[in-house]
Structure 1
């Protein structure tokens, strides 16, 4: 099947052809006819299979079939879970609709709301938004959703995971009852099905891949390695195999910053992206990575969904995710649009449970990668890495043990059994060592 057989108008076919596509993906060939007919849709496909074009192309066609109103009210609303995904979806609408007289814009948090208000006042046909910033506009009365004809929930499962269900319900209450609803999701959890039951009317169900499956064109492997040697192995793989573009996942924001800095000390250009970064910093980091200005992008699971990096060759799970489904989305950043990809996971002793849960989800064992002779870590390399890695500040008790030679028994100490003299002004509270806390979870 070709795009010409899907009933799309000439302007859309021209844009698709100029983008280099000739044949629709399975999700596109099944979803586009359903959306063109005006029915509700519940669609699921593994990440990287072209879900965005599956709803963007028919949505653009349906809107273009009706004459635009002079005031240009919002007629189509697309909700996404993250800022990066919102920006990418809006860019796809612009790309596919460049030969049509339709206006598109995107609103998300982390940036000034004033330019968004200015654009909205000029009128837009299609709005792509994150739920939180959309409700900010609603509260300021800068957005009117009473004319929306089509609603799309993209990556709906991720929105629920991020706690957006209450916001989604608030937004649904502002929309007209009569509208077309499209729900796209990488997975079909029971919670998603409950949301669909309350939102969709006699929907067509499309699922082009088994639930929670990884892309077949992604080669997966694991390295069993001591936690303290992960950084050395990563540097060795990147340098030894001359990897030029690598997306590395960590569990925490602090861990992402630290690893990016350590790789930079190893002479590997790196940058980090996570939720504590400003939107400007996140945008610059992603742009630098896509343009090849940096070789490594270290990220938390904020990048596990929605990031479309063309022909990304390598994904590394520096730390396994706590939620097994996130593994599928992480490695789905490679092997997209029919290209091959490579996904490697570093597994230490503390992560055996996460690995077991991931393999149970995939219903398969991930192959164990043996270190090649050229990549074997020497003791000098390990010692060098450990020397460069800053240690955590020691607790007062640990510092005393270091000064006194460690945990010796009381019988071996000359002052064993002697009562200690209280220090002037000391009390139970001041004598208690202060607690030291690790970094907060992502």
Structure 2
């Protein structure tokens, strides 16, 4: 997304733009509007302003040939999951020249994990036998949750080929990783730090790696994983394919891609830096000391809607959860300092709908794909346009 005159985050936290008063109508305003602060909403609703989408991806194919690009061995698994067609990103990835490095611009929820799973399923059966007991595919993702999410998606998709998928992430037992790695896995999904540790120690042998996939490459670099990425990528054979997925392509991402990719093909699932076009962007103008009141009002207006709330800091997220719980508004916390079991329980409760509000920091929620979220609220404005796009 390119922030222009319509939407320019200010240092005060108020986002200027065209004003469009919205009246809730008689009898529809919750009591908290009147009793807590007298706040009335004024909003600017922006649907696809100039610069959001520079071009539209192709519409998914339908009809008898909609799944023609899916490898035959995986078609049953795809159909069992309810697929009747492929997303534009999946079509483009499968239509690319086999073996060629891919540079994919794509947002969360575009189907990119399944797209590359199909490429793995098409490629691995054609390879000569491995010479050592090591993975054939390495996938790196920035967070534990995203890595486990990717592992889950690849596991069901590749099950018909009897391909084992394993995840190794920070915050989990190293000993458990070693036991699982000794049993062998064709596909290893990991966070950069933990995977680099296993590569350095020899627990992950890279001699037979034929494919590397970097998911959310921009975020991994933003989180300071450049050295860990290099530690892994420098150990894999030169004759391998490397696919890079990123929502944005800043200079650091391009430098990484140019260093390790060979003659890559660019696939624009979503143009770099652009936000999804099917989102309404609503701006509420409130005084700084009335932000909590405004947030509570929004939650009460649609209490059944699954809502993801972003804050800038861990401390701010924890304090907001405390305040919401004091008002009997159930909320869960997702920040980087929670241990793995807590984070997993939190996500499971949110996905299952047991709690409707999740308060998170940018890094903690990066790349998560939670079906059914209908509302995202920024209690702190994003620090830059890319952060807004990721949210």
Q: Cα deviations across residues 179-229 of structure 1 (Å, max 9, x unaligned)?
A: 111111111222222221111111111113332111111111011111221
Q: Cα deviations across residues 351-388 of structure 1 (Å, max 9, x unaligned)?
A: xxxxxxxxxxxxxxxxxxxxxxxxxxxxxxxxxxxxxx
Give the equivalent residue in structure 1 for 2:158.
Answer: 97
Verify: 1:275 aligned to 2:332, yes or no. no
Give the equivalent residue in structure 2 for 1:358.
Answer: none
Q: Which of 150, 168, 175 is the matching residue for 2:236?
A: 175
How far 1:64 sits from its partner (Å)?
A: 2.8
How far 1:71 sits from its partner (Å)?
A: 6.2
Specify every segment of 5 or more residues in structure 1 that has no aligned partner in the other structure, as ranges.
331-442
Alpha carbons 2:334, 2:360 under 8 Å: kept: yes
Q: How does 1:13-412 map to 2 (within 5 A)?
A: 13-34=75-96, 37-66=98-127, 72-330=133-391
Give the equivalent residue in structure 2 for 1:390.
Answer: none
Q: Cα deviations across residues 269-302 of structure 1 (Å, max 9, x unaligned)?
A: 1110111111111111111111112121100002
Please report the TM-score for the alignment, with normalisation by the length of structure 2. Answer: 0.80
Separation of aligned partners in 1, 2:154 and 2:304: 32
Q: Secondary structure at the match of 1:5?
A: coil
Q: How does 1:429-440 map to 2 (within 5 A)?
A: none
How far 1:267 sits from its partner (Å)?
A: 1.0
Separation of aligned partners in 2, 1:68 and 1:227: 63
Alpha carbons 2:199, 2:232 under 8 Å: kept: no
Q: Which has the larger radius of gyration?
A: 1
Q: Cα deviations across residues 35-57 of structure 1 (Å, max 9, x unaligned)?
A: 6x111111112332122122111
Please report the TM-score for the alignment, with normalisation by the length of structure 1. Answer: 0.71
Q: Which of 2, 8, 11 is the matching residue for 2:73?
A: 11
Separation of aligned partners in 2, 1:68 and 1:18: 30
CA RMSD of aligned residues (A): 1.7
Q: How many residues align?
A: 328
Higher relative contact order (CA 8 A, sep 6+): 2
Alpha carbons 1:304, 1:329 under 8 Å: kept: no
Specify every segment of 5 or more residues in structure 2 that has no aligned partner in the other structure, as ranges.
1-60
Q: Closer, same or farther in 2 for the Cα pair 1:133/1:64, shift >3 Å? A: same
Q: Secondary structure at the match of 1:99?
A: helix
Q: Secondary structure at the match of 2:346?
A: helix
Q: Cα deviations across residues 158-187 of structure 1 (Å, max 9, x unaligned)?
A: 111111111111111211111111111111
Give the equivalent residue in structure 1 for 2:55.
Answer: none
